[in-house]
Amino acid sequence: MSLRRWSVEHARFLEALWQVFARLLPRLRRLVEWIGPARAERLLRPLERSLKGLLFECRMCGGCTLSAGGMACPMNCPKCHRNGPCGGVRPDGGCEIEPALRCVWLEALDGASRMRDPSGISRPQAPVDHSLEGTSAWLRTIVGNDAREDAAPPAERRASGAFERACRSGRFLVTAEITPPDSANAEDLLARARPLRGLVDAINLTDGAGAHCHMASLAAAALLARDGHEPVFQVACRDRNRIAIQADIMGAAALGIANVLCITGDHVAAGDHPQARPVFDLDSVSLLELARRMRDAGTYASGRKLATPPNLFLGATVNPFAPPYEARVANLERKLAAGARFIETQYCLDVPRLEAFLRRVRESGLEGRFHLIVGTGPIVSVRLARWMLAHVPGVHIPESVMRRLERASDPLREGVRICVETIQRLRELDGVAGVHLMAHRREQLIAEIVERASLRRDHEGKRTAVA
Ligand code: SF4
- pLDDT at position 161 is 92
Same domain for 102 and 197: no
Does residue 428 carry a pLDDT above 60?
A: yes
Mean pLDDT for the stretch of residues 160-173: 94
Number of structural domains the chain divides into: 2
Q: How far is CA 272 from CA 23, 173, 362, in A?
A: 49, 33, 40
End-to-end CA distance of the chain: 52
pLDDT confidence of 146, banded at 50, 70, 90? low
Question: To test the ligand 1 pocket, which listed residue (8, 59, 73, 81) has its Cβ within 8 A of the most ligand atoms?
Answer: 81
Q: Which of 110, 143, 176 is a domain's end point?
A: 143
**Ligand 1 nearest-atom number relative to CA 85:** 3
CB count within 10 Å of CB 16 equals: 12
Give the CATH number for residue 407.
3.20.20.220
CA 35–ligand 1 middle distance (angstroms): 42
- pLDDT at position 466 is 43
Burial of 23 (0-12, 13-18, 19+ CB in 10 A): exposed
Count Cα neighbours of 369 within 13 Å in the Cβ-side half-sphere: 17
- Grouping H, G, I as helix, E, B as strand and the rest as coil, residue 260 is strand
Does residue 370 carry a pLDDT above 70?
A: yes
Check: CB of residue 321 under 8 Å from CB of residue 393: no
Same domain for 169 and 54: no
Does residue 457 carry a pLDDT above 70?
A: no
pLDDT confidence of 153, banded at 50, 70, 90? confident
Check: CB of residue 65 under 8 Å from CB of residue 84: no
Q: Tell me, what DSSP letter sits at residue 239?
A: S
Q: Whose CA is nearest to atom 2 of ligand 1?
A: 86
Q: What is the mean pLDDT of the chain?
A: 93
Q: Whose CA is nearest to atom 6 of ligand 1?
A: 95
Does residue 467 carry a pLDDT above 50?
A: no
Give domain status of residue 29, yes or no.
yes
CA–CA separation, 463 vs 456, rounded Å? Answer: 15
Same domain for 195 and 103: no
- pLDDT at position 152 is 78
Check: CB of residue 261 under 8 Å from CB of residue 317: yes
Torsion, CA 328, CA 332, CA 337, CA 338, rounded to 10: 110
- Domain membership of residue 135 as a residue range: 4-143
CA 457–ligand 1 middle distance (angstroms): 37
Same domain for 397 and 250: yes
Give domain status of residue 460, yes or no.
no
Q: How far is CA 413 from CA 90, 346, 377, 425, 466, in A?
A: 29, 22, 12, 18, 35
CA–CA separation, 59 vs 75, rounded Å? Answer: 7
- pLDDT at position 252 is 98
CA 87–ligand 1 middle distance (angstroms): 8
CA 435–ligand 1 middle distance (angstroms): 26
* Strand blocks (E) in 180-297: 202-205, 231-236, 259-263
List the alpha helices (DSSP H) in 158-301.
162-169, 186-193, 217-226, 242-254, 284-296
Same domain for 421 and 323: yes
Pocket of ligand 1 (CB under 6 A): 77-79, 81, 84-86, 88-89, 95-97, 103-105
Mean pLDDT for the stretch of residues 361-366: 96
Same domain for 240 and 116: no
Q: Tell me, what DSSP letter sits at residue 257?
A: -
Pairing relationship of beta strands 342-347 and 434-437 according to DSSP bridges: unpaired
Question: To test the ligand 1 pocket, which listed residue (8, 102, 104) has its Cβ within 8 A of the most ligand atoms?
Answer: 104
CA 289–ligand 1 middle distance (angstroms): 21
pLDDT confidence of 148, banded at 50, 70, 90? low
Same domain for 169 and 135: no
Give domain status of residue 465, yes or no.
no
Instruction: Report percent pLDDT > 90 for the chain.
Output: 90
Question: To test the ligand 1 pocket, which listed residue (8, 57, 80, 103) has its Cβ within 8 A of the most ligand atoms?
Answer: 103
Same domain for 220 and 359: yes
Give domain status of residue 383, yes or no.
yes
- pLDDT at position 456 is 74
Same domain for 178 and 134: no
- pLDDT at position 465 is 41
CA 316–ligand 1 middle distance (angstroms): 17
Check: CB of residue 270 under 8 Å from CB of residue 393: yes
> pLDDT digit string (tens) for 41-75?
999 999 999 999 999 999 999 889 999 899 999 99
pLDDT confidence of 28, banded at 50, 70, 90? very high
Q: Whole-model pTM?
A: 0.94
